[in-house]
Amino acid sequence: MEGKYDKIALEAVVDGLIFPVDGFSIFQDAERKELLRRLASERGVVILTDADGGGVVIRRHLKGILPPEQVKEAFIPDIPGKEKRKRRPGKAGTLGVEGMKPEVLRQALLRAGVGVETEEAPAKPRFTKADLYGLGLTGTPDAKSRRLALQKALGLPANLSANALLGVLNAITTPEEVEEVISRCAPEEKEL
């Protein structure tokens, strides 16, 4: 998560370490990066950033410096609005982590697989690039619009690349759930 106001919002739903990276300053802060690497290797981390362009850049940077097997990603949906403390909405016109209701944050974390896991819990089927192609989400002229429709239906940010979507789908859903969402889409989106 990016800053202190995001941390305050998360404290309402998280009983654990919340580590703000203080926005773009993480790019130049070698000590903070090393601490994040250590936390990731010892206990794993969850990356939760705003869905705007800055959040995407910070998320990508963090994923690049942390061991992938120790990282989970949580995503907030694109909800139009502005945070109460701000005069104007951000460039994207959507709420950031600090503006999300606690239940929205809780659901984002649950979808990322944060919580108590049991041995009885079945392993989720994994999505592959071939699955995305089979669903028409890559490799076709209208794949981007199909992905956008699916992302909207799942409450995901609109600015995910196909590869990012693949990672998100593997974290939060199953192929059967995606097929169900596609079948519920509006008639013009049903051809997903």
Q: How does pLDDT run across 78-119, given as a tens digit for each residue?
A: 999 888 888 888 888 899 999 999 999 999 999 998 874 444
User: Which residues 6+ apart lie within 8 Å of 55 measured at CB?
Assistant: 2, 49, 96
Q: Which carries the bigger pLDDT value, residue 59 or residue 174?
A: 59
From CA 63, how far away is CA 109, in angstroms rounded? 17
Q: Which carries the bigger pLDDT value, residue 118 or residue 143?
A: 143
What band does 43 get if pLDDT is binned at 50, 70 and 90? confident
Query: Is residue 80 within 8 Å of residue 66, measured between CB atoms?
Result: no
Asked whether the whole model's pTM tops 0.75, one would answer: no
